[in-house]
């Protein structure tokens, strides 16, 4: 039987994903391993099994489009009308992610955003694991607030 993946570790990998590094779940050991995206076929820690897609499953990486979608979902639940207006204007700008981040700090609600984003990443991680039938241990601490 396969060992369970730590949900908190998987969420951490999603939070701080580096696009130049592939994170792979080893479905046998339950560990998460890194593979640099260099195009080099040799990978000492993972070996040739990476290619078959059964033992090692590549974790998703949130792209800008998905980050903007998360930001829009957060915007919809902001209760203060002035903050919601500022966030909406930021998301409508030519550089929405940078403007959104600046607006969060101007509105002094960045802590709310980070809590919201963390909750969404936990949901995404659970759905990703469950869709692949990968066992996991839910070791994510309850959110504060």
Same domain, 28 and 11: yes
End-to-end C-alpha distance for the chain, whole angstroms: 38
pLDDT tens string 53-68: 678 999 988 889 999 9
Within a domain: 145: no
- Provide the β-strand partners of residue 36: 21
Stated pTM of the model: 0.82
Same domain, 88 and 19: no
Alpha carbons 70 and 114: distance in angstroms, whole number: 11
Same domain, 9 and 54: yes
Average pLDDT, the chain: 87
pLDDT tens string 81-117: 999 999 999 999 999 999 999 999 999 999 999 999 9
Same domain, 96 and 54: no
Domain that holds residue 10: 5-60+121-137
Within a domain: 81: yes
How would residue 18 be classed by pLDDT, with cut points 50, 70 and 90? confident
The count of domains in the chain is 2
Handedness of CA 143, 77, 131, 33 (dihedral sign): negative
Alpha carbons 45 and 48: distance in angstroms, whole number: 10
Within a domain: 86: yes
Same domain, 79 and 42: no
């Amino acid at each position: 039987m396969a060992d369970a993946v730590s949900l908190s570790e998987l969420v951490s990998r999603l939070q701080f994903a580096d696009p130049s590094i592939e994170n792979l779940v080893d479905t046998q050991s339950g560990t998460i391993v890194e593979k640099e995206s260099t195009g080099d076929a040799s990978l000492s820690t993972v070996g040739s099994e990476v290619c078959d897609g059964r033992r090692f499953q590549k974790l998703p990486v949130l792209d800008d489009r998905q980050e903007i979608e998360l930001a829009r979902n957060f915007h919809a639940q902001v209760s203060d009308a002035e903050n919601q207006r500022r966030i909406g204007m930021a998301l409508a700008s030519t550089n929405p992610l940078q403007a959104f981040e600046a607006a969060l700090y101007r509105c002094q609600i960045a802590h709310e955003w980070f809590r919201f984003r963390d909750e969404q990443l936990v949901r995404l991680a659970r759905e990703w694991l469950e869709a692949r039938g990968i066992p996991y241990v839910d070791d994510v601490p309850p959110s504060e607030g």
